Amino acid sequence: MKYRIVSFFIISLFAIGSLYGNDKLDEAYFWLGEAYYRSDMLKNAADNYEKVITNYPSSPRREEALYGLGWSYFRLENFNRSSSVFDQLVKEFPASNYATEVLTRQGDGYYRIKDYARASEYYGRAAKQGPNTEEGQYSAYQLAHTLYRQNRYEQSITAALNFVKNYNKSNLAPNALYLIAWIRFQQERYAESIENFEFLIKTYPQSKLVVRSYFAIADCYYNMGNYEEAIDGYRIVVDQFPSSDLAPEAIKSIQSTLQILDRDSEAFEIVDSYISTNPTSPFIEDFQYKKAEMFYSGRRYNDAISEFETFANKYPESSKTAEALYWLGKSYSVSNDFDNASKTYLRLKTNFPKNDYAAAGLLEYGLLLKHHNMIDSAHSILTMIENDFPSSDVAPQSGFERALLLWAVGDTTGAMTQFKTVADKYPDTDYGDQSRYRIAMYYRFLGMNTEAIREFSIIAQVYDNPDIAAESRYRMGELHLRMDNIEEAKECFEIIYDKFAGYEDWYSLGLLSLGEIHEREGDIDDAKELYNIIQMLRPDDEFGKTATQRLKRLK
């Protein structure tokens, strides 16, 4: 219906244009642009505004057309183009009623594309152009923010202070004060930050930022090591603003601070106190879960079992219930209660068959069965993970553990097949790397040196797992030496020398092997240099003793 109205409007406008001749076509194009704009057909709107500006430079609608064109591009998020149009408007019509607004929109556009320097420029101009307008006030506030975004902290504070001075009744004044306090917080000037937050609380007691300011004050004291003052600050948030989203965080902060002070019993009591005084709070569920977590982390497993069980029964539909059952199973496991741990992990899988915690629980259950030497059952559970949760975070470990089980019962072929499956299916995981390492070591054991080198070469490139990469590079060099590929072996050991200085065993072995090659090639000085490095790094162990013996031999 909207487009039929536009079509009718187009016909009407051009009928008028035909009636009066070309003198009225600029009006027709302008109003057509307006119609398209109001119908959110922004590209069409821009095309018609452009016709007014380009074809009718003396049109009385020129100022409005520039305004509409700039807004069209702004809403199309072509901020560079909208800015150039708005610049043209202000240049041609310096006294325009739109001047402050378009300068502000230019600031907004550059702010959105994170060009904060140019945003500052336009916000500053808008603030000067219309200090008594809503857009001018907003721009004065945004100026402080863009300066902050550029890490020009002192200038940002000055701009924020000027804003509060000039517009102390503005609803943005508390935000400006908060910005000042937050900058001081980030600068670790905590005493000044506290003073600024307290001023905000005193000056604007009805602001929604008051609760956030109390929380920030407590954080300041915490970072200063003044834990008692920090606890008092967090308590204000909990006691005075129990329905605030920050209340759960404040309780967690109190608990962690009390634990630092070895006052664990108080840390547990604060949750009970909150629940008893705020029985209708929407955060009670979170607090009860947090209490169970604290019992587990504090190794009070019997209490953790009680709390997790209570939580799972009380909140069966909660988003955290699957997680609660997982930790309930873990609590039973560490308490050596095999039967209840097994029941809990199976309950988790039954009640939450698609949840990632179900996969994690099955892995724990499989490892528990393995620990109790129930190999067939463990194998069955681990297989379930691969079948039902192939994309879960625990699937690579599950496959790896299944391969180890096959290896343990003597099924070497099955184990190697499973290791290869894990290595190929999960190449960017630690268990994928570990699986390929097992394959490579098996080939090495069989004397299949070329095949072993091929597998080692893959994981030797995994520099974010440097332990296995360093060993793999050494093993490649070792195998090349067996095959008398001296240059290839030398290259492997040189890579260890260049890239793995922090992994001392493989580094030392690599340098000893590289020194041996230099000796073979008659590069005695190079060999001595390497042995001296090892002697300096490892003077008291077998690596250092070997280097010392070789140095004596080369004298």
Does the pTM of the predicted model rise above 0.95? no
Instruction: Please report which residue ranges of 242-300 form alpha helices under DSSP H.
Output: 246-260, 264-277, 284-297
pLDDT at 11: 46
Using left for φ > 0, alpha for ψ between -120 and 50, and beta otherwise, residue 204 falls in: beta
Nearest C-alpha neighbor of 359 from the set 320, 321, 390, 327: 390
What distance in Å separates the CA atoms of residue 190 and residue 181, rounded to the nearest whole number?
Answer: 9
Nearest C-alpha neighbor of 321 from the set 365, 276, 351: 351
User: pLDDT tens digit string along 43-102?
Assistant: 999 999 999 999 999 999 999 999 999 999 999 999 999 999 999 999 999 989 999 999
User: pLDDT tens digit string along 411-422?
Assistant: 999 999 999 999
Nearest C-alpha neighbor of 238 from the set 214, 207, 216: 214
pLDDT at 8: 44
Q: Which amino acid would we find at residue 235?
A: R
Q: Which two three-digit tokens encode residue 400?
A: 């790896």
**With contact defined as beta carbons under 8 Å apart, do 342 and 330 qualify?**
no
pLDDT at 426: 94
**C-beta pairs of 251-257 under 8 Å, 24+ apart in sequence:** 251/287, 251/290, 252/290, 253/218, 253/219, 253/222, 255/290, 255/294, 257/222, 257/227, 257/230, 257/231
pLDDT at 505: 85
**Residue numbers in the chain where pLDDT is lower than 50:** 1-8, 11, 15-16, 19-20
Question: What is the SS3 assignment for 376-433?
Answer: HHHHHHHHHHHHHCCCCCCHHHHHHHHHHHHHHCCCHHHHHHHHHHHHHHCCCCHHHH
Nearest C-alpha neighbor of 394 from the set 422, 359, 427, 429: 359
pLDDT at 486: 94
